[in-house]
Structure 1
Amino acid sequence: MTTQTLSSPFAIQGCGSGSCGCASSAATPAPQQALVNGIALHAPGQRLDAATLRELAYAELLRQHAVAQRLLSRHTGLITPELDDAQREIIEAMIDQEVVTPHPTGEEGRRYYEAHKAQFLVGQALHVRHILFAVTPGVNVQALTVHAERALLELSHKGVAPGRFAQLAAELSNCPSSAQGGDLGWITPDDCAPELATELFHLEHAQTGTGVHPRLFHTRFGFHIIDVLERRSGTLPAYEEVRERIAALLTMQSRARALHQYMSLLVGEAEIEGIALEGADSPLVQ
């Protein structure tokens, strides 16, 4: 049986001549130029990734706002200028002046403490072994996931042989710990990738129990089968001991929300072309 690839009836195929460039040029049109209030963020035909475009757009919004506040001189060109250190300092000072960051109250700090006690435990540690299925360039992630799920299913059976985990770790794991049956020894939250530390230590379900975790852990390194052999629960310091740490965390979160609202207002007041930015046209946006 043969398969056919269906093409869109709107696709431009060109004239069909191998010596003609019309097909390739039609298939890859020049990118639309991104503009902020008529000022281009890049040269015509230049291709930039979405993250770079967003960064340029936000920088241009801030520059234009500083010009409107008579903090910077007006730009006469049609493409956004590159800012020097002095101009950046002026813009940063403008942001500090205009963005009000509410300071958390003691009541807010205590509520956070009560809701996130696992984050403040001291001395907690786990004796862990794992099997790593590494995600590397070119790997078939779907096939790798199926392979990892099969191994997890086998290890989750009640009748699995005691030495099977170490055997599979030696055969399948892409971590050097495979030579020790996947044994990582005793680890603390600081020893893990942040996403793994959250799952193993900081979530409520992570505070009790041992054995093979019923699902795969996904980190920047790949997929992990995790077996908790032993645990030290640690101790919880009093709120007064971590009050300043909580206040700093809540202040940082508050600052991030205030900056997001500030930039959303600037976006909402501007004419944006060629790039999608989240904006708001009301100072009451939350």
Structure 2
Amino acid sequence: MSVVLSEAAIAAELQHHPAPNRAEAWRRAELALRLRDNLLAEAKYLGIAPRPGDGAVCELEDESLISQLLERHVQVPDISDAACRAEYDRVPGRFRSPALFEAAHILIAADMTAPLQRETAREEARRLATLLGERPGRFAALAREHSACPTGAEGGVLGQITARDVTPEIATMLQAMTPGTICPVPVPTRHGYHILRLDQREDGRELPYEAVRETIRERLRRRAWAKAARAYTATLINVQRSELDQQETAS
């Protein structure tokens, strides 16, 4: 027998199921809740108990049960070296070491959610950028005097970094800059405005297969697990859809 779901529960679930219209979103939310109930019922039928430490909050306990149920029913074969090699060769040059940058910055800090602070910081950063356009040799001195980052004490030098070490906005600008130049436009981030100098850049190199084989194997394993999990839950989804269709017909 299907569990009777309250309208409040379905309404709360709606936010997780965007759809072209409310009726479809409602249907998806109801289906998701019924699927969750089905998974929990199956886990309890099999005698699965929450892992130690997972039951302090009801939601965590439910997640623990569902996770263990999927671990039992979703199995994937070992990923062969041949499959890893095929994935490596599928898009030549895809696996590369990250580009390395030697750069420096001056941070004019601001609460970017406060319009007045944001505008004040932007004007100060523009002033310094204009000054550096005329006298680039003053970068270190201005960093020590104005930068809100601890690197200011070292003249703003960031050292050797990758795109992962900085915000996406800074990474994008560094990729576009020519080594030996100062960006004429301050770069806004959640921390404030940055004036950037790029000293050197070493583009990433293609990595040999042996260096990325295990990374590829794990990626393929996760992909296979997700596919198997979808196949397992699809049977439950089809059952739930059939039940909902019957209920709609009966009503």
TM interval, short-chain normalised: 0.5 to 0.7
Partner of 1:134: 109
Cα pair distance change 1:155/1:84, threshold 3 Å = closer
Partner of 1:38: 6
Q: Are the counterparts in 2 of residues 125 and 232 from structure 1 also a CA contact under 8 Å?
A: yes
Say yes or no: does 1:175 pair with 2:149: yes
Q: 1:187 aligns with which of 160, 179, 204?
A: 160
Q: Distance in 2 between matches of 1:187 and 1:61?
A: 52
Q: Please give the root-mean-square deviation of Cα atoms over the aligned residues, in Å.
A: 5.1
Q: Are the counterparts in 1 of residues 179 and 199 from structure 2 also a CA contact under 8 Å?
A: no
What does residue range 61-76 of structure 1 map to in structure 2 within 5 Å?
63-67=36-40, 69=42, 71-72=43-44
Q: Which amino acid aligns with 1:72?
A: K
Partner of 1:31: none
Q: 1:240 aligns with which of 206, 210, 221?
A: 210
Q: Distance in 2 between matches of 1:198 and 1:250?
A: 28
Note the C-alpha offset of 1:130.
0.5
Q: Are the counterparts in 1 of residues 107 and 149 from structure 2 also a CA contact under 8 Å?
A: yes
What does residue range 96-175 of structure 1 map to in structure 2 within 5 Å?
96=71, 105-111=84-90, 114-117=93-96, 120-121=97-98, 125-136=100-111, 140-141=114-115, 144=118, 147-148=121-122, 151-152=125-126, 155=129, 160-175=134-149
Q: Are the counterparts in 1 of residues 106 and 196 from structure 2 also a CA contact under 8 Å?
A: yes
Note the C-alpha offset of 1:98.
5.6
SS in 2 for 1:72: helix
Could you tell me which runs of 5 or more consecutive residues in structure 1 were left unpaired when the two chains were aligned: 1-35, 52-56, 74-80, 271-286
Note the C-alpha offset of 1:131.
1.6
Q: Deviations over 1:163-205 (max 9, x none)?
A: 3433543444211222333222x2233982463785478xxx4
Q: Deviations over 1:46-96 (max 9, x none)?
A: x9xx79xxxxx9996664022454x326xxxxxxx92575x6443113333
> Going by fraction, where is helix more abundant, 1 or 2?
2
Partner of 1:82: 58
Q: Percent of counterpart pairs with the same letter?
A: 26
Cα pair distance change 1:110/1:194, threshold 3 Å = farther
Say yes or no: does 1:92 pair with 2:67: yes
Cα pair distance change 1:97/1:174, threshold 3 Å = same
Could you tell me which runs of 5 or more consecutive residues in structure 2 were left unpaired when the two chains were aligned: 17-29, 46-56, 242-251
Note the C-alpha offset of 1:153.
7.7
Q: Distance in 2 between matches of 1:135 and 1:261?
A: 49
Q: Which amino acid aligns with 2:71?
A: D
Partner of 2:23: none
Q: Are the counterparts in 1 of residues 107 and 195 from structure 2 also a CA contact under 8 Å?
A: yes
Q: Are the counterparts in 2 of residues 145 and 223 from structure 1 also a CA contact under 8 Å?
A: no
Q: Are the counterparts in 2 of residues 133 and 144 from structure 1 also a CA contact under 8 Å?
A: no
